[in-house]
Chains A and B, each alone.
Chain A
Amino acid sequence: MTALLYLVPISLILGGIGLFAFFWTVRSDQYDDAEGNASRILTDLYDDEPKPDP
Chain B
Amino acid sequence: MSVAACPGCVSGPGSASGAGTAADARHLSYSVPTIHCAGCIAKIEKNIGTLPGVRSARVNLSQKRLLVDADGGLQDKILARLAGLGYEAYPLDRSVLEKGGDPEARALLVRLAVSGFAMMNVMLLSVSIWSGAEGETRNFLHWISAAIALPTVCFTSAPFWHSALSALRRVRLNMDVPITLAIFLATGMSLFETIVGGRDAYFDAALSLTFFLLLGRYLNHRTRMAARSAAVELAAMEAKTALRMGATNQQVPIEDLRIGDVVLVQPGMSIPVDGTVINGESDIDKALLTGESLPERADLGSEVFAGTRNLTGPLQIRVTKAIENSVLRRIGELVSLAETAKSQYTGLAERAAEIYAPVVHILAFATFAGWYWIGGDVRQSLNIAVSVLIITCPCALGLAVPAVMTAAVSRLFRAGVLIKDGTAIERLAEVDNVVFDKTGTLTRGEPVLTGDIPAEALAIAAGLAQGSAHPLSRAIIQATTERGTEPASLTAITEVPGKGVEGEFRGRKARLGRAGWLGADALPGTMQTWLQLEGDAPVCLRFADVLRPEAQAVVRQLADRGFAPALLTGDRQDVARPLAEQLGIVSVLADVLPEQKVTAIQERGGRTLMVGDGLNDAAAMGAAHASMAPATAIDATRTAADCILLGNSLSEIPRTLAIARMAKRRILENFAVAAGYNLIAIPVAVLGYASPLAAAIAMSTSSILVSLNALRLLRGPAS
Binding site for B on A (CB under 8 A): 1, 4-5, 8, 11-12, 15-16, 18-19, 22-23, 26, 29, 31-36, 39-45, 54
Contact = CB atoms under 8 A, between A and B. Distances in A.
A12 B121 contact: yes
24 contacts: A1-B137, A4-B137, A8-B144, A11-B124, A12-B121, A12-B148, A15-B120, A15-B121, A16-B117, A19-B114, A19-B117, A26-B109, A26-B110, A32-B62, A35-B62, A36-B41, A36-B60, A36-B61, A36-B62, A39-B61, A40-B41, A41-B38, A42-B38, A45-B42
A54 B63 CA distance: 25
Interface in B20-74: 37-39, 41-42, 45-46, 55-56, 59-63
Interface residues of B, number: 31
Contacts of A18: 117
Interface residues of A, dominant DSSP: helix
A47 to B, nearest CB: 11
A32 B58 CA distance: 12
A54 to B, nearest CB: 6
Q: Of A11, A18, A33, which is in contact with the most chain B CB atoms at under 10 Å from its CB?
A: A33
B140 interface: yes
Contact of B41 (A19, A22, A39): A39
Question: 7 nearest interchain CB pairs?
Answer: A36-B61, A39-B38, A42-B38, A43-B42, A35-B62, A33-B60, A35-B61
Nearest to B40: A39
Contacts of B117: 15-16, 18-19
Given A11-B121, A33-B61, A54 B113 contact: no
A20 B41 CA distance: 31
B206 to A, nearest CB: 18
Interface residues of B, dominant DSSP: helix
Interface string B68-108: 00000000000000000000000000000000010000100
A33 B137 contact: no
Contacts of A1: 136-137
A44 B141 CA distance: 53
Contacts of B106: 26
A40 B46 CA distance: 13
Contacts of B140: 4-5
Nearest to B36: A39
Contacts of A4: 137, 140-141
A23 B110 contact: yes
A42 B110 CA distance: 30
A48 B490 CA distance: 49
Nearest to A32: B60
Given A33-B62, A54-B55, A40 B38 contact: yes
Contacts of A41: 38
Contacts of A42: 38
